[in-house]
Each structure stands twice: as structure tokens, then as C-alpha cells.
Structure 1
């Protein structure tokens, strides 16, 4: 979902790392499925949501993301 969210926003690993104030290595490790502290995961999710992504839970079709409607 992180990779999909970055793609939807047009962000590279470096840009997300800067926005989330984490290392590029942290973003790469997360996208590989490696374990991270829950607080780091929560922070990265919050940064992506603030940038306009909505995360879609598993609903039979698999988890996903979409861009939030602008108000």
C-alpha cells in the first residue's frame, strides 16, 4: 500500500522520506515488508494521508489506496 500511495501522489522514496522525516532506508525496508516500530509506520501513514491518500482495508479484493476527494 505504501508503494501504491507514493505512486498515486507522484512521490519517490526520497520525497516520502523527507516528508516523513525518516531515512530512505526506512521507507525501502517498510515497502519490502520488514519490521519497523509501530510508531514509525503510524507516522508514515499519517504523512501519506495528510498528502491526500485514503487507505482501503481488505474487502475481499485486497487492500488498496485511492486519492481522497478534495473539499
Structure 2
């Protein structure tokens, strides 16, 4: 499960507003605002968290689990398209 801080950080990395996340995830903007007004793990229904995480991952976010150094987020590297020799 991700935290509210990871959710907010992911939005910042993408330069997304709560409205952008709402459109991408299908979760209402008031619900996102309510979730982000707290701290700790993303609360609410599991389907809501899954939709938010799915939308952010589809946009290029990678969630980093707690691994001794702390949980976090980062942008995935874009894959380079291989060019065939001419």
C-alpha cells in the first residue's frame, strides 16, 4: 500500500493537479482532496487506491516500497526506441 505522501509526490512529479488525477483515474476530485487531507496510508476503499495507483503508474510513476531507506516515488526511464542500421 502507498502513502498519502507518495500519492502527492507522484502528482508533483507529473505536474498534475487533483483534477488531472481525477480525470486519469476516474476517482472524483473531492474524494482525492479528502484522501490527501490526511496522512499515513491511502485510506478509503481498496478499489479507489488501486485506481489512483494505476493511473499514476500508467503516466510513468514508479512507487518505491519501504526498503530501509524509506518509501518514495520516481519517474520511470523512457525506453529508447532502437534504430535499425541504414
Q: Same fold (TM over 0.5)?
A: yes
Residue 25 of structure 1 pairs with residue 67 of structure 2:
no
1:8 and 2:16 correspond: no
Among 28, 45, 52, the residue aligned to 1:44: 52
CA RMSD of aligned residues (A): 1.3
**Shift in Å at residue 58 of structure 1?**
0.5
- 1:48 deviates by 0.2
Structure 1: unaligned runs, 5 residues or longer: none
Structure 1 CA distance, aligned partners of 2:14 and 2:70? 20
Gaps of 5+ in 2: 1-5, 80-86
Number of residues paired by the alignment?
A: 71
Please tell me whether Structure 1 or Structure 2 has the larger radius of gyration of its CA atoms: 2
TM, length-normalised to structure 1: 0.90
Compare the two structures and name the one with the higher helix fraction: 1
Deviations 1:8-65 (A, max 9, x none): 0010111111111111111122222463100110111010000000000001222100
